[in-house]
Amino acid sequence: MRLAFATGINGEFANNGSLPWGVPIKEDMNHFVKFCANKVMVMGYKTWLSLPETVQKKYKTLVVFTRKDDTYYNFKGLKFIVENMSQFESFIEFLSQCEDGLDQKTEYCVIGGAGIVESSLKHLEIFDAVLHTLVDPKEYELPHTQTISNSLITRLDTSFKNQDPFFYENDNFSITVTEYYRN
Ligand SMILES: NC(=O)c1ccc[n+]([C@@H]2O[C@H](COP(=O)([O-])OP(=O)(O)OC[C@H]3O[C@@H](n4cnc5c(N)ncnc54)[C@H](OP(=O)(O)O)[C@@H]3O)[C@@H](O)[C@H]2O)c1
């Protein structure tokens, strides 16, 4: 199981249905696409809505969490597994009991939203690898609409070894991409 997410230097995570820094940052996306390749993407419903249609269509199977019934099942012809997952502790049990032949051999990548990432950071023991991108804007502050506590994010440093950061600069941002793996 993998986890991938990005935050600003003050934990900024989301802003009114999109990213705090606006459009996705190319260097971050390159890492993200590679890190999530061939994985079943796991996300909250609003994260699903935030993805461009081209990205939505890329994935054959997704897990989208909802507290509603099966409203989104087979939405736009995609195979969705929609589940009310109120107990994050039972995440692996939940995934292993999914219908349609998915089991623990399937590799998953959790990508958001904020509550799901926060819960994930409190249960890092279930993850084999985490991708975290830190975005530092050069000329302005990112909106603080939806944030993730930096004290939770620093759990990555104590829970994993072999950190291998990549640094990028463009006109607007300095970006640090860290891939965390277990030994
Ligand atoms: N910075 C990043 O790396 C990153 C990554 C992904 C997304 N984002 C941004 O995050 C925002 C979307 O995230 P969000 O936090 O607002 O929403 P979200 O978690 O993606 O979606 C919230 C919805 O997911 C369902 N859900 C969430 N947790 C659940 C649980 N434990 N059990 C059952 N259902 C659950 C509920 O759906 P129902 O209402 O259908 O019940 C809930 O309303 C967007 O702005 C997006 O751009 C940022």
pLDDT, tens digit, 9 for 90 and up, residues 80-91: 555 555 544 455
CATH class of 2-181: alpha beta
Q: Which atom of ligand 1 is nearest to the CA of 84?
A: 33
C-beta of 18 in contact with ligand 1 (< 6 A): yes
Q: Which atom of ligand 1 is nearest to the CA of 67?
A: 41
Share of the chain above pLDDT 90, in %: 48
Q: Radius of gyration (Cα) for the chain, nearest Å?
A: 16
Q: Name every residue whose Cβ is closer than 8 Å to that of residue 150 and which is 6 or more positions away in sequence.
A: 7, 10, 11
pLDDT, tens digit, 9 for 90 and up, residues 90-140: 555 555 554 444 455 678 889 999 988 998 898 888 888 999 999 999 999
pTM > 0.75: yes
Domain residue spans in the chain? 2-181
C-beta of 143 in contact with ligand 1 (< 6 A): no
C-beta of 44 in contact with ligand 1 (< 6 A): yes
